[in-house]
Amino acid sequence: MTVKTRLLIAIPLIILMGALVAAGFSMAWFGDAELPSSVSYTLGTVELDITDVQTTLERVNDEFLWDADEPTAEFTWTLKNAGTKSAFLRARLIEEFEFILAESDSATAAEADTYHEDGRHKYIFDKHAWFTYFKYTMGEDETAVFVVGSKHDHVGEVDLEVVEGELRVVITLDEGYYMREAHLHIDADIEEFLNPAGNPAPGQFDWKSGDIQPPEASYTFSVPVADSDLGTRVYVAVHASLMEVLSYEEGDSPVTWELTDGCPYEWRLGDDGWWYYCSPGGVPAGEEVTLCLTGTLGDEVRVGAYRVEVEAEVLQASSEALEHEWPYAPCNEE
C-alpha cells in the first residue's frame, strides 16, 4: 500500500480549481511470509507519513500559479519514518496534465468558395490581400472558413446569422485549437478598416474579445444591427490569435525534473523512474527526510493544467530486502 500527497498547479491563463490535499499514511509489515526465508528481518512496523509539502510557486486561493515566463520552480516533500525500525524509502512522481497549449499562428476568415483543400489561394479582390475579409448579406445565414498560415490550413468556421436585431458571429475552431483573443470588424466601406498595406488591422477592429481566459475553442460576437446604417451588403473581417494543443508520447511530460541543487538528502533516480533514498542503513525510526526536486516547464508551454502526485513507499532496512524487493534501486550498486 502506498502513501500519496497531491499538489494542484495551474499554469497561468487557466483557472484550475483544487487545493493542496493533506497527506495520509499507510503501513506495511514485512515478515517471513512476504520475504524469502533466507532474508533476516527485525520484528516491528514499517510506517510512513508525508508530513509536509512545499513549493516556491505562488499560491492564489486554492491553486498554485506556474508562470511560463518563469519556468523553474522548486518542490519539497517531507517523509517521516513513523515506524519502529529503520527503513528504506523511495518516491516517484505521478503526473497528470491536460489542455497544455503552445502559441500558434493567427487565423482569419475567408469566403468558403475561395478556399481550396489543396492549399491554393486566390485573391478575393484584385487590389487587396487574400483570406482577410469577405462579403456578407445582412439577414442571411452564412458560413465562412477560418484559415491559418501561408498554406491557409483549415482551422475552423465562422457562422453568421441575424437573431432579434443582432448579428451573431460564431467562431468555432477545429479540434486541437483554442483562441486567446478574437477581433471582428463590420463595415459597408472596406477602406474604413484597411491598413496602408491594404490588409485589415485587427487591433483597430471595433469588436474585441479581450483576453479569453482560459482559451476557448468557440467564441460568439453579438453586434446590434437593427438600427444601424450599414445597409444589406457589408464587409466582415474576423481574426483570432490561436493556441495549439501539445501532444506528448507516453512517459513524456511538459516538465523536466531533477534533484534540487544543494539538497542535503541522498536521493538517486533509478532506471524505473523512482527516486531512492540511498543513505546506508536507511532512515532511522522517527526521523524525516525531504525529497527536493526542481521542475522546469518546456519552452513551448504557455497555458495548461498540470497536477503532480508523489507516491512513496517504505521497506525494512536490510540489504537483502532491498535487493529482493527493489532490484532497480541504484543503492544496490553501492
Q: Inform me whether the pLDDT recorded for 10 exceeds 80.
A: no
Distance from C-alpha of 168 to C-alpha of 220, rounded to nearest angstrom? 7
204 is written with which cell numbers? 483597430
H or E segment and range at residue 195: none
Top-confidence residue, 18 or 287: 287
Q: Give percent of the chain with pLDDT exceeding 90.
A: 21
Average the pLDDT over 53-62 and give the result: 81
H or E segment and range at residue 328: none
For 197-251, how does the pLDDT look when each residue is reduced to its tens digit (9 = 90+)? 767 778 788 999 998 888 899 999 999 988 788 888 888 889 999 988 888 877 7
Is the CB of residue 195 less than 8 Å from the CB of residue 201? yes
298 is written with which cell numbers? 518546456
Residue 261 has φ and ψ, to the nearest 5°, of -55, 135
Q: Beta-carbon neighbour count of residue 235 at 10 Å? A: 23
Which of 22-26, 102-106, 168-172, 315-319 bottoms out in mean pLDDT, i.e. has the lowest?
A: 22-26
- What does the pLDDT read at residue 55? 87
Tell me, yes or no, if the pTM score tops 0.75. no
Top-confidence residue, 17 or 82: 82
Band of residue 21 on the pLDDT scale cut at 50, 70, 90: very low
For 291-302, how does the pLDDT look when each residue is reduced to its tens digit (9 = 90+)? 999 999 888 888
214 is written with which cell numbers? 482560459
- Strands (DSSP E) along the chain, which ranges? 3-11, 25-28, 46-55, 58-60, 63-65, 72-81, 87-111, 134-137, 142-148, 153-163, 166-173, 177-187, 207-208, 218-224, 233-245, 255-259, 267-269, 275-277, 288-297, 303-316
Strand-strand pairing, 63-65 and 3-11: parallel
Q: Beta-carbon neighbour count of residue 63 at 10 Å? A: 20
- Give strand pairing partners of 316: 87
